[in-house]
Structure 1
């Protein structure tokens, strides 16, 4: 975890409680624990601290949000391909059960919180995320270009809707641009380093002409990735100039993302 995240023992305690809560000896024998998106937890923590809500609410809100995210992420990892191997079939079944288990944990936490508004916000977010995932999947099957809006919804709906609930609309643009930059950098790195094609790679390939696809499309695709990265990065840095309270965090984290995903390295190498 980056040094950016080490400033708060309070947040670390909440994350530790998440891993304690999801522990299940049988599941752990076959599947890995879900990984928290630390940026999601930190940004939610910063919003709640800025709003000056009490510690109990901070803990419950973050814990339920990352449990929801864990359930969504785990269900997304379930393969739809036909599996011949019995061990792999068992792992797939357990991933479905694990996602359901994490969902039940978040319902359990929510049942102890007298906050109907938060329950509605999380339910709305889950619906939006699942609808956008279906759009991306459907368009991929039909070979139709999906929209970036669906990717943004998948990555940010939980935080955007909580920002709305807290009446902190100024955070929404930051959240959208930050997580879009993070997705762009991660998918670019995985494509260059491991040949993995994520949702954005598929989308950007639709912008490459058929002629280029049949010859050398690597340069065309990289150029499109880099254009989106530079535009999004510039938007975030511009926002940070007027966002005095959290400017340092935002600028530092953007720099860390560029380093983590070897963006400067690849740009220099390709250049």
Structure 2
């Protein structure tokens, strides 16, 4: 399992787990989990610009929980359900997504930074549109990698711009997060319908290699750069971090 004991990442994750803890959902739904690449990018980006542990914890918690909420809503099945048990499961899944959406807003509200709430809201709308576009395109037998990139990394892109990060930095994180998703073997509707998935993975590996070579020294921590270098390797699939 992905381990980091060097700094405040464990403390930030402990805070997220405490805030997300709801026994009924734990008993009836799969555990919350994020891909290690997403967690590390989130932490490194926020930690780089946070002035206090409180600020770090609240933004990190909001970011990971809203991504969970969006992923949960994306996983909800469509069409007719054949049993009452399946209908209840779908209803519970939707409610779980709504619950974590509410938590993300509460975390940001505690910081009293309205601009952050606006940034998240705009990005969430963009992600929902990108996922709808992806689904429609796949139904028509087409796939645009741009839609998946937006769906996976739009909040992080917005947050990076808010913090004043460079275009090169933003290119790295959006490519890395999309690559990590494709390598993570998700079973959501969008992922299972993507044709020539391995070719897209190879394309993103090549792009990320180029982008890492372009970025300035010091923009990425050694830990993050080493992690992304490993992500490029063909057999690297990433790990899940339980939230």
TM-score, normalising length from structure 1? 0.76
What SS does structure 1 have at the residue aligned with 2:15? helix
The within-5 A match list for 1:57-72 is 57-72=55-70
Q: Which runs of 5+ in 1 are unaligned?
A: 191-195, 206-220, 263-271
Which of the numbers 113, 127, 130 marks the counterpart of 2:128? 130
Query: How far 1:56 sits from its partner (Å)?
Result: 1.6
1:123-150 Cα offsets, whole Å, 9 max, x none, are 011001000000011112233x232111
The equivalent residue for 2:2 is: 2
Distance 1:178 1:243, change over 3 A: farther
What SS does structure 2 have at the residue aligned with 1:36? strand
Query: Does structure 2 conserve the Cα–Cα contact (< 8 Å) formed by 1:71 and 1:99?
Result: yes
The two structures, once aligned, show a CA RMSD in angstroms of 2.6
1:143-167 Cα offsets, whole Å, 9 max, x none, are 3x23211100011111110011111
The equivalent residue for 1:83 is: 81
The equivalent residue for 1:211 is: none
The equivalent residue for 2:241 is: none
Query: How far 1:176 sits from its partner (Å)?
Result: 1.6
Q: Distance in 2 between matches of 1:98 and 1:27?
A: 7
TM-score, normalising length from structure 2? 0.84
The within-5 A match list for 1:92-131 is 92-131=90-129
Q: Is residue 2:221 matched to residue 1:261?
A: no
Distance 1:86 1:127, change over 3 A: same
Distance 1:182 1:232, change over 3 A: farther
The equivalent residue for 2:157 is: 160
Q: Which has the higher contact order (CA 8 A, sep 6+)?
A: 2
The within-5 A match list for 1:103-252 is 103-143=101-141, 145-169=142-166, 170-187=168-185, 199=190, 202-205=193-196, 222=198, 224-225=199-200, 227-239=202-214, 242-244=216-218, 246=220, 248-252=222-226
1:159-180 Cα offsets, whole Å, 9 max, x none, are 1100111111242111122123
Q: Which runs of 5+ in 2 are unaligned?
A: 239-243
Q: Distance in 2 between matches of 1:87 and 1:251?
A: 45
Q: Distance in 2 between matches of 1:202 and 1:94?
A: 25
Higher helix share: 1
Which of the numbers 19, 34, 37 marks the counterpart of 2:35? 37
Query: Does structure 2 conserve the Cα–Cα contact (< 8 Å) formed by 1:129 and 1:157?
Result: yes
Q: Distance in 1 between matches of 2:113 and 2:103?
A: 16
Q: Distance in 1 between matches of 2:78 and 2:211?
A: 37
Distance 1:54 1:24, change over 3 A: closer
